[in-house]
Amino acid sequence: MAADNREFNHLWDLSREIANLRSVNMLLQWDQETHMPPNGAKARAGQLELIAQLIHQRRTGKDFEKALAAVIDLDTGKLRVEGCSAAQKAAVREWRRDFSLATQLPIDFVRRWSNLTSEAAEVWRNARERSSFLTFAPYLERIVALCQEKAELLGYKAHPYDPLVDEYEPDMTYAQLTKLFGDLRKPLVALRNKLLTRKQPDCSFLQQRYGSAKQMTFAKHLLGHVGWTQENGAVDLTTHPFCLSLHPTDGRVTTRVNERDPLENFLASLHEGGHYLYEVNLSEKTWGSPLSEPVSMAVHESQSRWWETIVGQSHPFWKHAFPELKALFPKQLEGVGLSRFVKAVNALRLTPIRIETDEVSYCLHVILRFEIESALVDGSLKVRDLPTVWNEKMKELLGIEPENDARGCLQDIHWAWGHVGYFPTYALGNLYAAQFFDTFAKAHPDWEERIGKGEFEFMRDWLQHNIHQHGRRYRPGELMQHVTGKQPSPDCYLKYLTLKYS
């Protein structure tokens, strides 16, 4: 971005202040999950609330509105200043989107939303523990009603689900998702059923004790392949792994360790490493503007799934990494060959739990949630019927019946948080990853050989050059078109899975 435009730079200054507050918010959240003493939780809530309030004030305040209106017509989106570069135009477009989203919800609504969802999260924890859907149901009813109200406030043309998903995945719609997931549904179920008729790989060697210190040593190796460095990153242990970033120079990965299942650690580390790489590859130069922000949740997820599944569950990857792992755990892996190990990594996991499942089943778990939450929002499904419908769909899509609601419709916290419209991005992430990878593999037909030799830099460079460096310069659909020459489709993903599991 050129710095010759006074109005533009003033807007950027205000935006940079918001970005700094968001970094602070990230640190508060990271610390809460890693190093904060347990009794600090109540005070932390107060700190988080204050910072959230300061961010909201700045995003919706008169200062920001005035600065934005000096650059762009808020109603029509027509630029008011001349000589903006294409990048600057994109930044202004995204600033306008953020301002519009932040101001369309009145403060009274925001408060009701925040009160209900924090209460609901507590109720959900309790309800899940006792597997009592009836405890959570009245809260879910109120959340659905608030989501419907939110959809009305944000406005939509075709379906009330549209503005909800758009918040996480710009421009994505109910109609598009219905088409994408519709095309995915049948072939995935068919592939999965076919695989289930085969002999399942022997994973018994994984069910031994793998010491946590050595797992973490190996996790750092894996993270190093993805691009994690001590200079730009921290790594800590948590129950629910995540990645947060304060700045392209300061990304925080967390992972988990289960001494009885080392794959949990390796795959979680690769997954969060993928998120990390996206964040640290965002542009330092444009920091504080949308050009240095991740473009969407699905593209973010595509980066984590790229490393966790397409690369991290591939034969070439373990060709390089397995000897190292074997050196760390010679006893546990005695007599286990590379092929047997890779088969175990890719074994189907027959579980009703989304986050424990395998690559082939994953999107089916997501499609189930999409079908249910969109029906709740448009009123075609009532909350009271949720458990029944959940279990029916689970049977239909995955052939599994959850033992109880705790392991069924109560397993995810998302709805309690009000995150309706978020789930599809998990499946889209897989689709996008495969579509990006298809383009990557055409540019680098020797990728398997190089990864097998432990070369990773060319892959990281490709991701940075084609995806990360752009930030929000392109909308997600534009980015897909720009990089892959196609709009999002399930083709590459299905091709990838079919080829891999044939």
Active site residues: 272
- Between 247 and 271, CB nearer to a second copy: 247
- Between 237 and 353, CB nearer to a second copy: 237
Rg (CA), the chain: 23
Task: Pick one of 9, 10, 20, 494: the residue that binds a second copy (CB under 8 A).
Answer: 20
Stretch that binds a second copy, among 16-24, 312-320, 448-456, 471-479 (CB under 8 A): 16-24
Stretch that binds a second copy, among 33-41, 156-164, 178-186, 429-437 (CB under 8 A): 33-41
Task: Pick one of 33, 52, 54, 263: the residue that binds a second copy (CB under 8 A).
Answer: 54
Contacts of 346 (CB under 8 A, 6+ apart): 201, 313, 358, 359, 500, 501
CA distance 367 to 375: 12
Task: Pick one of 1, 11, 14, 51: the residue that binds a second copy (CB under 8 A).
Answer: 51
Task: Pick one of 14, 21, 144, 420: the residue that binds a second copy (CB under 8 A).
Answer: 21
Binding positions for a second copy, 265-284, rule CB under 8 A:
none
Least distance in angstroms from the C-beta of 452 to a second copy: 30
Q: How far apart are the first and last CA of the chain?
A: 48
Stretch that binds a second copy, among 30-38, 121-129, 162-170, 479-487 (CB under 8 A): 30-38
Task: Pick one of 7, 9, 10, 17: the residue that binds a second copy (CB under 8 A).
Answer: 17
Least distance in angstroms from the C-beta of 45 to a second copy: 10
Residue 329 in contact with residue 210, Cβ under 8 Å?
Answer: yes
Q: How many CB atoms lie within 10 A of CB 101?
A: 16
Residue 394 token pair = 């689970």
Residue 228 in contact with residue 273, Cβ under 8 Å?
Answer: yes
For β-strands 243-247 and 250-255, DSSP reports them as: antiparallel
User: Any contact of residue 43 with a second copy (CB under 8 A)?
Assistant: yes
Least distance in angstroms from the C-beta of 31 to a second copy: 6
Residue 496 token pair = 């990838």
Which value, to the nearest 10 degrees, does the dihedral of the CA atoms of residues 6, 60, 420, 423 take?
20
Residue 137 token pair = 């149901």
- Between 30 and 422, CB nearer to a second copy: 30
Residue 382 token pair = 């009532």
- Between 29 and 404, CB nearer to a second copy: 29
Task: Pick one of 3, 42, 76, 157: the residue that binds a second copy (CB under 8 A).
Answer: 42
Task: Pick one of 50, 107, 190, 196: the residue that binds a second copy (CB under 8 A).
Answer: 50
CA distance 306 to 271: 8
Binding positions for a second copy, 284-313, rule CB under 8 A:
287
Least distance in angstroms from the C-beta of 34 to a second copy: 8
Binding track, positions 230-259, relative to a second copy; x by CB under 8 A = xxxxx-x---------xx-xxx--------
Least distance in angstroms from the C-beta of 39 to a second copy: 4
Task: Pick one of 7, 10, 29, 31: the residue that binds a second copy (CB under 8 A).
Answer: 31
Task: Pick one of 9, 10, 29, 36: the residue that binds a second copy (CB under 8 A).
Answer: 36
Binding track, positions 203-232, relative to a second copy; x by CB under 8 A = --------------------------xxxx
Least distance in angstroms from the C-beta of 244 to a second copy: 12
Binding positions for a second copy, 141-180, rule CB under 8 A:
none
Kindly give the residue spans of alpha helices, DSSP state H, lying in 155-261. 161-168, 174-197, 212-226
User: Any contact of residue 23 with a second copy (CB under 8 A)?
Assistant: yes
- Between 229 and 487, CB nearer to a second copy: 229
Give CB contacts under 8 A, 24+ apart, made by 456-460: 456/225, 456/226, 456/227, 459/311, 460/226, 460/227, 460/277, 460/281
User: Any contact of residue 46 with a second copy (CB under 8 A)?
Assistant: yes
Least distance in angstroms from the C-beta of 23 to a second copy: 6
Coil, helix or strand for 168?
helix
Phi, psi of 252 (to 5 degrees): -120, 115
Residue 55 in contact with residue 21, Cβ under 8 Å?
Answer: yes
Residue 163 token pair = 């503005």
Least distance in angstroms from the C-beta of 110 to a second copy: 19
Number of residues that bind a second copy (CB under 8 A): 36
CA distance 26 to 382: 36
Coil, helix or strand for 218?
helix
Least distance in angstroms from the C-beta of 219 to a second copy: 17
- Between 46 and 445, CB nearer to a second copy: 46
How many CA atoms lie less than 13 Å away from 323 in the CB half-sphere? 6
Query: DSSP letters along 409-476, please?
Result: TTS-STTTTT-TT-THHHHHHHHHHHHHHHHHHHH-TTHHHHHHTT--HHHHHHHHHHTGGGTTSS-H
Q: Would you tell me which residues interact with a second copy (CB under 8 A)?
A: 17, 20-21, 23-24, 27-28, 31, 34-40, 42-44, 46-47, 50-51, 54, 229-234, 236, 246-247, 249-251, 287
